[in-house]
Each structure stands twice: as C-alpha cells, then as structure tokens.
Copies of this chain bind each other. A is one copy, B any other.
C-alpha cells in the first residue's frame, strides 16, 4: 500500500459478518500489503465494523484501525468496547476477538441519512442503555419518539453508558459487561433465526423482542414489577417494535440458544431486570426462556414486519 489509499467497499448488514467476507478482506490486506505501521479506516454500520475489526485484529497478529460508525446503533453501541466478531453456523459472533480501535470518530450527521427502520432499531439500544441506568435517562427515553433523528446530546448520553460499563470490565471477565447484554440472549436467537428468511430482523428489532421476553422472565420470577413490565411493553409496542417471531422449530431455537457466549460450564447466566437502573446476574433455565417465547408468540407478536402468523 504505497502512494495512495486503496478503498474496499462491502455490502453492509448482518450477512457481511461471514467467513467468506472475512476471507475477502484478508485477501485485500494481503494484496495491499498492509503492515503494522499502517492504519485501516473502517466506515460503516455495526456489521461492517464487526467484521472489519475482526480482520484487523487477526491480520499480522493485530493492526491498527479507526472506526467511523455511520448508524445510530454503531455510534452508541457496536463501535464502543472493542468487540469484533463474525457469525458462524447460524449463531451470532461465535468467532471474534477483543481489539480496540486507535480512535473512534462519531459524526451525527450520518444519522440523517438513515431509513426510519434503521433509526428505530438504533433507538432500541438507547432504550436498553436507559433501562440499565434508570432514573432521568429512562424517563426521557420513554417520552422520546424512536422515529426521530437523535441529536448529539442523545448520542453522547447513550454512548457514555456503554463506555462506563465497558471500562469496568473491558474483557467481559468480571460479569459487569455482561449487563450490557440485557435482552440480547433471546435477541440474538431471533436475529440469527431471521437471517435465513426473506425478512431478516435488524439487530435492534431482534433485541426489542429479546428485551420484552427477558423482562417477562424477570416478572415471572417476581424480580420486575408488573407495572414496570407494562411500561416497557407499551413503549416497545407503540414504536411498532413487537414484530412476530421468525419461523422456527423448538429444536432450531434451542440449538442456536445453546451456542450463547454467556454459557459458562454449561450454565446460562443472563442479566435480568429488577427495574429501570437495577439489573442482576441470574442463572436461568432453557424452560423459563421457552415459556417467555410461548407467551410472546400467543400474546404479543401477531402483526408487523412478517405480516403473518408463525408456526
């Protein structure tokens, strides 16, 4: 890579997080002889940053990169914290590393170019961050429309939550960073299962479903009050986020679930809500999660992006 800066463009979205795309990027790094004295600029949404940073982390045992997130979800979540990853065998982020960028450049102007659906998906992670800290942020986000482009102030507030939690546990070894996975255990399953359908869910859409289903588990356990549960459900519903589940069999569902990275020694440990600003690590059974899914399927996700009832 001498004299000039080669440009590689890729189609974004979750399907970019694959081994073939990874191989393609490695091949480009090889072709341009990218070495450890150079830096790769990654510009894109969360999926592109995930696969691009994975390639950088493994090229010559780690080269520098700078992240320029262009979506809301990437600016306040995906690009922060050094998690890289690609999907494998239909499960999310099974292959990945921790590798921080040299710098993170956030320009909120990009957000004005986002389709409404992408924007709404991003607000779900803002919502999750607000659930984690509670208080004023939580009340503010309850009153905020997910169809609006957030201003710099919103992006800062939401990114700050992620930064704060990551800083306490950068390598996810202490069980603190785990809290950021609120709603993501079931969320990842729905995202993964929808990938092979004609209507893949966006990350935030899948997380919205996961958030409510995991909140249901909390409520059933007596951790979360029915009042708080109701407020969460109403907000997500009013934003049009309570989509029907992608078609699945319980066998498929369990297979994807059991690859979750939060399983340690065979035990699934989730962050569960006690209320806005109160979250705790809890060992849950597959059965409890299944009941939440059954409840959702029969009581909630009846219309929406799939436009049909599911198996």
Contact = CB atoms under 8 A, between A and B. Distances in A.
B62 A95 contact: no
Interface stretch (A53-61, A213-221, A303-311): A53-61
Interface of A: 2, 19, 23, 26-27, 30, 33, 35-38, 57-62, 83-85, 88-89, 91, 93-98, 172, 258-259, 261, 263-267
A264 B30 contact: no
Contacts of A93: 61
B83 A61 contact: yes
Contacts of A26: 88, 94-95
23 contacts: A26-B95, A30-B88, A30-B91, A30-B94, A30-B259, A33-B259, A35-B265, A35-B266, A37-B263, A37-B264, A37-B266, A37-B267, A38-B265, A58-B58, A58-B97, A59-B94, A60-B261, A61-B83, A61-B85, A61-B96, A61-B98, A62-B98, A97-B97
B264 A35 contact: yes
Contacts of A91: 30
Contact of A97 (B23, B38, B57, B259): B57
Nearest to A86: B58
